[in-house]
Structure 1
Amino acid sequence: MKTGIIVVLCFLSLALIVPPSSASDDRRQKWWKWPSTGKSICSSVVLPLYGNVYPQGYYYAQINIGHPPRPYFVDPDTGSDLTWLQCDAPCVHCTQAPHPYYRPNNDLVPCKDPLCASLHSGDHRCDDPNQCDYEVEYADGGSSLGVLVNDVSLLNLTTGVRITPRLAIGCGYDQIPGPSYQPLDGVLGLGKGKTGIVSQLHSQGLIRNVVGHCFSSRGGGFLFFGDDVYDSSRVISTPMSRDYRKHYSPGYGEVIYGGKATGLKNLLVIFDSGSSYTYLSSQAYEGLLYLITKELSGKPIREAVDDETLPFCWKGRKPFRSIRDVKKYFKPVALSFSNGWRSKTQFEIPLEGYLLISSRGSVCLGVLNGTEVGLQNFNIIGDISMQDKMVIYDNEKQTIGWIPANCDNPPRSNTIIF
């Protein structure tokens, strides 16, 4: 669960290392400049995704940062804006990571930069005007403390061009891992704010302000920035909430179970790719669990109290091998959103979108009680419920959309390497 909350803080100065050479400066200038043609933008960035909801517990992408570009594995998180890497600057507290910690150059983002201001609410002050300190806290209690730096990222456009835009990222030198901590190099911030990677690429005229993902239920998938990788005429969409603008939210929704209204409504919903599972506030969670339990009554399936994979698991007379084995016991779920006067849009969640088969052959409920983990009245649509769909966050049209998709086949491009 990576829904991010920015906390206003100004901390000690940081001795950054590895200053760039004049040769690398020349290279940056040559690669980063992008010709302004005045034509409409028709390009995207597509990144492969790795991992799964279960048993690994998370999806991740690879980004390449620095001179020369080095690989880092990051959590693609629509619930927070800031992209940050565990950083050897030096590191005060860092967690286990798959790659050596990021070593920054000395290209600091100054305190007065608009990107710095966007990380802080109100009139923020910095102890050092030459740097921008940050602390981002996540809903699970984890956090990252660091400073903003500018560096280049190696990206391939679907037009076949390879670019290295200069981006502001967090050099995180003090991390506190939360319960849902994963051994990655950092977080890829895909949120709506100015520091989000998509917002930065859009401000440089490289892509439209659109981000999306496609998680495969078989593992892997792809992530994309821009709008030329899908057929917009096939997209089912709903407006982003005008009242809750901080995260990707369609506003208030209602739970539908087996095609019927449940009365579980007025639920403030957030789409959050940083959360592996779906979370409902306590009342909605208990209501859905009651409906499922009632549906299972009298059937040859009982609670598997000895399976601790998730809070609620059920077992049959013999171990289940796939969701196909339990289709006769469960019904699909959906979330219904108001799409205007008397108009509603449904986000359908098939059995695979809220159930999983554990290593012990039980079927487990991939919907959890969000109130118990501090989410209050927020209801999170996590990765499990977004599998096998292309989910699209269009910040230009202010809509959230989705299309059923084969997420095993990412869009391809013939990359031109300069």
Structure 2
Amino acid sequence: MLEAICFGSLVIALIALPSLLLITITLCWCSLVFGASIMQDKDLSEYNPSLSNTSKNLPCSHHLCKLGTNCKGPKEPCPYIVDYNSENTSTSGFLVEDKLHLASASNHATKNHVQASVILGCGRIQSGSYLDGAAPDGVMGLGLGDISVPSLLAKAGLIQNSFSICFDENDSGRILFGDEVFATQQSTPFLPFAGKSDDYFVGLEHYCVGSFCLKLTQFQALVDSGTSFTYLPTEVYEKIVFEFDKQVNATRIHLQDSPFEYCYNASSQELHSIPSMRLMFATNRSYPIHNPLLTDSENQAFSKFCLTLLPMDGEYGIIGQNFMKGYRLVFDRENLKLGWSKSNCQDINGNQAHLKPPSNDGSPNPLPTTEQQSIPNTRAVPPAVAKRASSNSSVAVPQQIPSWLGLMISLVLLVFCLPVT
């Protein structure tokens, strides 16, 4: 059995294999082709809690209701508010509890079904990039907050407290809940940022262009698959693009509708001589970038391409989805480290993941009790703090680019839905 659901720009097929929870992701294709926004038609349907016989409002009295103090009474639906980096972008509504259905499938095991209770942010009011087409059917939160999907699955005893994500070159891929860092992977620790361990920050020491590694002032970067492109602090960005422009053997051009400053017109031969790029983390671990370019081939002889780096104000950067392609990235939340290894996303068998079977009575896994809320080495974060920058931050993405692929920025599983009854 394969059950597909759609959240945000993702069509998600959920499979629970005997050794893992696997989510296969097929992205609704939406990319910037030098100013043109292209999205395939998808039959997106709103989630209606009243049509689900397992849906129920999360009451204000529930221990997972972070904004319960704003309620008039303990039985009212729990509200949520999430503000994002992108300018004037927010969502608000009510929290709903429902079942996530996972079908186990294997050639060597009897199929069974696992139901896990998750919390949905049922969006009632959206603003900013949401109104411009970003995440048209919602987003999936993979953060460290109490009500993110991996947090709830781990607290219910279904998985180890970790997950992996993989994007291939065709903008599809998979998520494995319970996947763990294995011996052949490189890794680097997650670091606290501003004294808090709320997000997936890593330390960067060098950025290499070709064989030349720039000795940068050490800065931290947020690993965020929910951001389409990669952002660097302005001062660091200027050093890198200057070095790239010096090494590249192509004619620089200006593309009016592109947000990228460094675009070129190159022959097919010149494309093969574009300098490589790699990140060097604080643990001296090398992370080659498989494809830092956005390319548009006009004909067989010439192509336009842009370096998909963007500057941002502030002291940290963001490693976005475009720098994650070609890797199996493991977010080990238990040991607070990021692991990576090359992958085409089809070679993942989940041997490192561990799915714990449902109880003997086959009953669905309930939401964790108050005593089960604490996960070692993690810190609970209310949804309202998802915003990390001021509303005029340069991290805001132009309208033509999808602001998120909808996987990690949010701290809740958010769907846009019909009114809660």
TM-score tier (shorter): 0.5 to 0.7
Aligned partner of 1:171 in structure 2 is 122
Aligned partner of 1:99 in structure 2 is 44
Q: CA deviation at 1:408?
A: 4.1
Aligned partner of 1:201 in structure 2 is 153
Structure 2 residue ranges without an equivalent (≥5): 1-16, 34-40, 352-356, 363-421
Partners of 2:26 and 2:174 in 1: CA distance: 8
Aligned partner of 1:218 in structure 2 is 170
TM-score when scaled to structure 2?
0.67
Letter in 2 for 1:388: G
Letter in 2 for 1:177: G
Shift in alpha-carbon separation, 1:209–1:158, aligned structure 2, 3 A: farther
1:345 corresponds to 2:263? no
Q: 2:98 aligns with which of 144, 147, 151?
A: 151
Aligned length: 314
- Provide Cα deviations, 1:80-99, integer angstroms capped at 9, x if missing partner: xxxxxxxxxxxxxxxx9842
- Provide Cα deviations, 1:216-247, integer angstroms capped at 9, x if missing partner: 1123111111127xx71111111111444111
Q: 2:190 aligns with which of 234, 240, 243?
A: 240
Aligned partner of 2:254 in structure 1 is 305
Letter in 2 for 1:366: T
SS in 1 for 2:19: coil
Q: CA deviation at 1:192?
A: 1.1
Aligned partner of 1:388 in structure 2 is 326
Letter in 2 for 1:370: M
Letter in 1 for 2:58: V
- Provide Cα deviations, 1:154-198, integer angstroms capped at 9, x if missing partner: 123467532121211111111113287425210100111111100
SS in 2 for 1:291: helix
Partners of 1:288 and 1:233 in 2: CA distance: 32
Aligned partner of 1:336 in structure 2 is 280
Q: CA deviation at 1:46?
A: 1.0
Partners of 1:51 and 1:250 in 2: CA distance: 26
Partners of 1:282 and 1:383 in 2: CA distance: 20
Partners of 2:119 and 2:19 in 1: CA distance: 21
Q: Does the 8 A contact of 1:222 with 1:410 survive in 2?
A: no
1:367 corresponds to 2:318? no
SS in 2 for 1:233: coil
Aligned partner of 1:43 in structure 2 is 19
Q: CA deviation at 1:383?
A: 0.8
Aligned partner of 1:74 in structure 2 is none
Aligned partner of 1:378 in structure 2 is 316
Coordinate RMSD, CA, aligned: 3.1
Q: Does the 8 A contact of 2:260 with 2:309 survive in 1?
A: no
Aligned partner of 1:295 in structure 2 is 247
Q: Does the 8 A contact of 2:22 with 2:177 survive in 1?
A: yes
Identify the range of structure 1 (169-178 vs 48-57) with the bigger mean alpha-carbon deviation.
48-57
Structure in which a larger fraction of residues adopt strand: 2
SS in 2 for 1:292: helix
SS in 1 for 2:143: coil
Q: Does the 8 A contact of 1:220 with 1:408 survive in 2?
A: no
Partners of 2:28 and 2:44 in 1: CA distance: 20
Partners of 2:42 and 2:59 in 1: CA distance: 28
- Provide Cα deviations, 1:25-75, integer angstroms capped at 9, x if missing partner: xxxxxxxxxxxxxxxx97321111123887369xxxxxxxxxxxxxxxxxx
Which fold has the larger relative contact order, with Cα–Cα distance below 8 Å and residues 6 or more apart in sequence? 2
Structure 1 residue ranges without an equivalent (≥5): 1-40, 58-95
Partners of 2:72 and 2:232 in 1: CA distance: 41
Partners of 1:124 and 1:288 in 2: CA distance: 47
Letter in 1 for 2:114: I
Shift in alpha-carbon separation, 1:269–1:201, aligned structure 2, 3 A: same
Aligned partner of 1:30 in structure 2 is none
Partners of 1:104 and 1:97 in 2: CA distance: 21
1:358 corresponds to 2:296? yes
Aligned partner of 1:136 in structure 2 is 82
Partners of 2:121 and 2:42 in 1: CA distance: 16
Letter in 1 for 2:179: D
Aligned partner of 2:389 in structure 1 is none
> Where in structure 2 are the equivalents of 1:7-22 lying within 5 Å?
none
Shift in alpha-carbon separation, 1:232–1:288, aligned structure 2, 3 A: same
SS in 2 for 1:201: helix
Partners of 1:366 and 1:54 in 2: CA distance: 16
Partners of 1:309 and 1:408 in 2: CA distance: 32
Shift in alpha-carbon separation, 1:52–1:171, aligned structure 2, 3 A: closer
Identity %: 25
Shift in alpha-carbon separation, 1:54–1:303, aligned structure 2, 3 A: farther
Shift in alpha-carbon separation, 1:108–1:281, aligned structure 2, 3 A: same
Q: Does the 8 A contact of 2:97 with 2:118 survive in 1?
A: yes
Q: Does the 8 A contact of 1:280 with 1:368 survive in 2?
A: yes
Letter in 1 for 2:182: S
Partners of 2:266 and 2:32 in 1: CA distance: 27
